[in-house]
Structure 1
Amino acid sequence: MEDRTRLRLGVAYDGAEFSGWALQPGLRTVASEVIRALEILFGEIADFTVAGRTDAGVHATGQIVHVDVSTEKWEALRDRLLWRLRGILPPDVRVTAAEAVDPSFNARFAAQWRRYRYRVADATWGVNPLRRLDTLAWPRPLDVERMHAACRRLLGEHDFVGFCKQREGATTIRELQQYDWARDEDGIAVATVRADAFCHSMVRSLVGAALAVGDGRRDEDWLASILMLGERANDVHVVGPHGLTLLEVSYSDDPGDWQSRVDLTRRVRTL
């Protein structure tokens, strides 16, 4: 059997022209482009696993993948792999880093947390045309300080079913570690959201709920009450995907911690 090496890859992409991350028959996805490029260079690959599958239109600057490749071909390509991939991949996706790691590394289950950013423009004239693909235009002025204060009440480990599209057999219990709102130097309202993991549409629902508070349609108590519903909240707007970017996925620097993190992540979550 051919000797294999596990690689950890950093991946960045503009999600505008992709039908999401995951492989889908007949559709252009980020995974299909990255796999195609890797197979051109390495032939057969195995155990291609991503830290977090993003929806259609969502971007990433800090996505992480692990994949098992031929050790012989890795040794031959390691010093020029990024350059070779640059020549194969389309311009809206790039492999930004590649390193050999211990086989215990798992891009999905060894992750300690994931950090996302969501950009919203509430200027009366709309969005800077150069940022239209990664910034949501909001039609009403936003009180960012009010949004920030309200979202602090959601921090901690809770059942976020009110903010999630449920999937059969999947838990909606998550630990929300950070949810901040602030304006950047251009006046854009920027949300920073970090959690150990996210369920389907959770970030976009959290943002949609905060915007309802920020433009005065809802109050802070309404936002906090969503945690108590026990079911999907019908009055929470899921904002568009294009304002969302996966910025970073964090792992322990000690490979000895990876397997224990995998075991912890795979546990059945309860409150």
Structure 2
Amino acid sequence: MPERNFKLTLEYDGAAFFGFQRQPGKRTIQSELEKALSKLFNRRTKIKAASGRTDTGVHAVHQVVHIGVVTALPVRRIQAGLNYYLPQEAAVREVSEVPSDFHARFSAKSKVYEYRIWNDPVRSPLRARHFLHVPRPLDIAAMKAAAKIFVGKHDFSGFCSTNSAVRNPVRRISRFTVVKRGSEIILRVRADGFLYHMVRNLAGALIESGYGRLKPEDLKKFLAARSRKNAFFSAPAHGLSLVSVTY
């Protein structure tokens, strides 16, 4: 029987895991998923790739991985079996069979992340795991103006982690929106790819803009400088979610 290739779409609460990537002695999405796969197929089974590796505390509504396995199980049985073995904080939302040349990371055309803010003097316990609480009022118009600066193709060296070793820091942001619904503020950014900590740093820049601490000309200088030397606030991980991957 030939090997079959499957695309798995995952949802998980990042607060329950030490990030996506497998780490010795740590509870991660990859380690829990591979445990479930190995139990389901009754042999050691690893994923081949993921669309991205979310950090500790970062959530996903639509994370994609792909696997190759020799099995006669139909996709509905694979999904049901994995959800039986996975912990409650993670679930396989969809399973589909894909061609052998499909790659969860390299076949992706774009990704969408959301950063969620609870902008209210009083904290919201029900949102505490998924929203950053910002008690001071934020200027939404200023945040929208800041977001527009990042749309387009730019070198985002000044907005990635100092630990990043990426060779090409150029990314294209096709859409960056700021939406306020009551006390909730949703920052939504679509790009062809993201650098390490890039979205959290962009969110931090927009929050600083909402405070009035950063002006559009400051952000343009940061982009042009291509350096984290004058680093500003990096938003905490728990407000961030991977919400879409397009192929």
TM-score, scaled relative to structure 2? 0.95
Secondary structure at the counterpart of residue 48 of structure 2:
strand
Q: Is the 8 A contact 1:161 1:172 kept in 2?
A: yes
Secondary structure at the counterpart of residue 35 of structure 1:
helix
1:185-264 matched pairs, under 5 angstroms? 186-251=182-247
**1:114-167 C-alpha deviation (Å, 9 max, x unpaired):** 0011111121112x2111100001132101121111210111111000000142
**1:201 and 1:169, CA in 2 relative to 1: closer, same or farther beyond 3 A?**
closer
Letter in 1 for 2:66: H
What is residue 54 of structure 2 aligned with on the other side? 54
Which residue of 82, 87, 94 maps to 2:79? 82
CA distance in 1, matches of 2:47, 2:167: 22
Q: Is the 8 A contact 2:130 2:238 kept in 1?
A: yes
Q: Is the 8 A contact 2:116 2:187 kept in 1?
A: yes
1:1-271 matched pairs, under 5 angstroms? 3-42=2-41, 43-45=43-45, 48-70=48-70, 73=71, 75-126=72-123, 128-166=124-162, 167-184=164-181, 186-251=182-247
Q: Equivalent pairs: percent with the same residue?
A: 36
**1:169 and 1:121, CA in 2 relative to 1: closer, same or farther beyond 3 A?**
closer
CA distance in 2, matches of 1:92, 1:243: 16
**1:169 and 1:163, CA in 2 relative to 1: closer, same or farther beyond 3 A?**
closer
Q: What are the ranges of 5 or more consecutive residues in structure 2 without an aligned counterpart?
A: none
Q: Is the 8 A contact 1:116 1:245 kept in 2?
A: yes
Q: What are the ranges of 5 or more consecutive residues in structure 1 without an aligned counterpart?
A: 252-271
Q: How many residues align?
A: 245
CA offset at residue 77 of structure 1?
Answer: 4.2
Letter in 1 for 2:157: V
CA distance in 1, matches of 2:211, 2:59: 26
Task: Report the more deviating stretch, 231-240 or 112-121.
Answer: 231-240
Letter in 1 for 2:18: S
Letter in 2 for 1:120: I
TM-score, scaled relative to structure 1? 0.87
Letter in 2 for 1:68: G
CA distance in 2, matches of 1:130, 1:68: 39
CA offset at residue 169 of structure 1?
Answer: 4.8
CA distance in 2, matches of 1:138, 1:178: 24
